[in-house]
Chain A
Amino acid sequence: MSSATADSGKKFRFKLPFSLGRATGPLIGLLLLCAFLSIATDSFLSVRNFLNILDQVTVIGIIAVGMTFVILIAGIDLSVGSVLALSMMVLGYLNVEAGLPMGIAIPGGLAAAALAGFVSGLIITEFRVPPFIATLAMMSIARGLANMITNGSQIIGFPPWFNMGAIIRHGGFLTMTVAVMLVVFVVAVLFQRFREGGRALYAIGGNPEVARLAGINVKRATVLVYTMCAVLSGLAGILLAARLDAVQPSIGFAYELDAIAAVVIGGTSLAGGTGGVGGTIVGVLIIGVLRNGLNLLSVSPFLQAVIIGLVIVLAVAAETFKFKGK
């Protein structure tokens, strides 16, 4: 146990400058991007547009938080988009087809997602299947199940207040969906900074064997992290259902790549052990602001794809150079 404290103490000393250092680069990038867009187009700098951006990043933002924890323990979760679709379809089935109230349908959707994540976690820890493969399999399974619920069709017909939750801005600012995202951000940052469980993730990502010897229940933590990531994907799915006022099983295709991009741009290393939710939030905003800004500048959709790719390369390459320089 004493070695555990020593270990986490050491992590702390390294962690603080790293976490700031790793998040400051992207943060400066975000501010520069905003400054550029404010000058380049007069429709960018307004409260309304800023609120639009928050609206637009809600889904990917919440998924990216879960993905950050997974990547921190040197894992990866490719199933988030499919799990999101599964949760949405379960929600739609329970509420519209089975006629159950939202109070049951929403927990139902989250439970389906949690189960998917729990199974992924078990496959990784008990059968020692690499996370890439395990979640690749879950990506396929969850997508198939989502399609089976309605045989590929969409479901519409949610109660009116559900869609209004994504449209009405309470006090002129917060939609219910954005509020949920902000709560997730705050809770995740607090958990990662101040809870023992949060600190343990860094230890596992740094070296799982050392973490295990230090008394951390690595298996349990790993299963919990994948379950939590899936629950957050499910939650994102429910918010997306509110935003779209409809669910369809083909939704969420390739969302895992957006989430991974946001985490990486935010300075979390795919090797695990360094980075954090703070950087990820900045990464999510960079992607959101960039997409929004390119639309506002009427950049051709084909060129947009090129630019977004370049920004990902730039962000990660800049980090690498910075660390080489040290």
Chain B
Amino acid sequence: MKLDLKSMLAATAVVAAAGTASAQGVGIEKIGLAVPNLQADFFNQIKLGVEGYAGKLGIEVIVVDAKNDTATQVSQVQDLITQGIDAFIYIPAGAAAAAVPTRLARAEGIPVINVDREPDGEPGDTVIYGENVLSAYQVCSHIIGLAGGEGKMVIVHGQKGTTPEVQRFQGCKRAIDENPGIELVAQQWSQMWSPDEGFSIAQNMLQAHPDVKVIFGQADALAMGAAKAVEVAGFTDQIVVGGYDGDVAALESLAECDTPFIVTATQSTQAMGVLAVNSAIAVYHGASVPARQIPNAVLTTCDNAQEFVEKHP
């Protein structure tokens, strides 16, 4: 039986590559996808990745959007389970409450694939997240290098306590520690990773520290908001801004290269969606998957942004 499944999986992978698989080869019919917030391009890209790939395999995908509210997400997951999903791709909304949806799905024996964030104390069958530490280190090294390795720096954090927020800071801190000339003068946390938060947080920081030379926004939306604040303040020539994620809008802006925002780390979001679907199929059939699957992000500057604009990884 086990051999059967394995060969079936292998077959699935092959046909999937050819893009002509049918539902019969896969064994699952319905996947539930719980997303924190579709306004964020990052999650939207994952959704597109999941839907596009699952569509090719003939799997129905039911998407629910929690609008960043953990309680809404718990309700939505109950509804997904009522609809008889065969596998559950779960991106926890916010930092808290992540454990309950996993428990609900586990109680029904439904495989749980975590993407981007992992609940405390209640891990899914596998977690897929972009490598954060090394890429954040690369982004920060790049902007610090452009500033000549010295001067004041500020960081606009993402939502406090989430995995990407913690790890991106960890990576960036390493770059800061390697450059004794860099002084981290201010840090502030956003609630929703949104551009307007990036704008207002950066504006206040620039007010307090007009001599800042380096800004790291932990997501492209935050970084682009911060870059706008830099432009408004008239500091365009003095400050470099680094971001993270490789959002579509950010990549387009980088390709134009006409703002202080000049580097990001592009995550393979669509590929993560595909990986999530494949993992769901594998776990459903009892095959083992690695506890952590961590695709790398690619350092993206004005020079190589254009290729990602044409085809998002």
Q: How far is the CA of A248 from the CA of B69 in the complex (A)?
A: 11
Quick check: is B76 within 8 A (CB to CB) of the other chain?
yes
Q: Shortest beta-carbon distance, A178 to chain B, in Å?
A: 13
Contacting pair A52 B82 (CB below 8 A): yes
Contacts of B100 in A (CB 8 A): 163, 243-245
Which of the residues B80, B83, B96 comes within 8 Å of A247, measured between beta carbons? B96
B78 and A52 within 8 A (CB):
yes
CA distance A246 to B93 in the complex (A): 13
Q: Is A199 an interface residue (CB 8 A)?
A: no
Write the nearest CB–CB distance from A100 to chain B, whole angstroms: 20
From B59-67, B270-278, B285-293, the one touching the partner chain is B59-67
Given A56-B75, A295-B64, A295-B76, A248 and B96 contact (CB-CB distance below 8 Å): yes
B residues 36-80 touching A (CB-CB < 8 Å): 38, 60, 62-65, 67-71, 74-76, 78-80
Contact assessment for A43 and B84 in the assembled complex, using a CB-CB cutoff below 8 Å: yes
Max count, chain A CB within 10 A of own CB: residue among B64, B67, B96: B96
| Across-interface contacts of A111 in B (CB, < 8 A) | none
A248 touches B79 (CB 8 A): no
Minimum CB distance partner of A153 in chain B: B161
CB neighbours of A298 from chain B (8 A): 60, 62-63, 83
Instruction: State the main secondary structure of chain B at its contact with A.
Output: mixed
The residue that A244 contacts in the complex, of B60, B70, B78, with Cβ under 8 A, is B70
A251 interface residue per 8 A CB criterion: yes
B82 engages A250 (CB within 8 Å) = no
Q: Which residue of B lies closest to A248 (CB)?
A: B96
B4 close to chain A: CB less than 8 A: no
Kindly state the separation between the CA atoms of A301 and B33 in the bound complex, as whole angstroms: 12
Asked whether A59 lies within 8 Å of B71 as measured between CB atoms, the reply is yes
Chain A: interface size category = 20 to 34
Picked from A56, A59, A152, A301, the residue with its CB within 8 Å of the CB of B38 is A301
With A152-B160, A250-B191 in contact, is A245–B80 under 8 Å at CB? no
Q: Are B71 and A296 in contact (CB under 8 A)?
A: no
State the CA gap A167–B77 with chains docked (Å): 14
- Kindly list chain B residues whose C-beta atoms are within 8 Å of the C-beta of A19: none
Chain B residues numbered 92-141 whose CB sits less than 8 Å from any CB in chain A? 94-100, 103, 120-121
| Complex interface bits, A53-72 against B, C-beta within 8 A gives 1, otherwise 0 | 00110010000000000000
- Bound-complex Cα distance A246 to B99 (A): 9
Given contacts A301-B64, A302-B38, contact A153 B80 (CB under 8 A): no
Q: Cβ of B235 < 8 Å from any Cβ of A?
A: no
Chain A residues whose C-beta falls within 8 Å of the C-beta of B103 in the assembled complex = 167
Cβ contacts A149-164/B at 8 Å (1 or 0 each): 0001111100000010
With A43-B83, A43-B84, A59-B71: A248-B97 Cβ-Cβ less than 8 Å: yes
Which B residues fall within an 8 A CB radius of A? 38, 60, 62-65, 67-71, 74-76, 78-80, 82-84, 94-100, 103, 120-121, 159-161, 189, 191
Q: 5 closest A-B pairs (Cβ-Cβ)? A: A301-B65, A244-B97, A154-B96, A295-B79, A246-B96
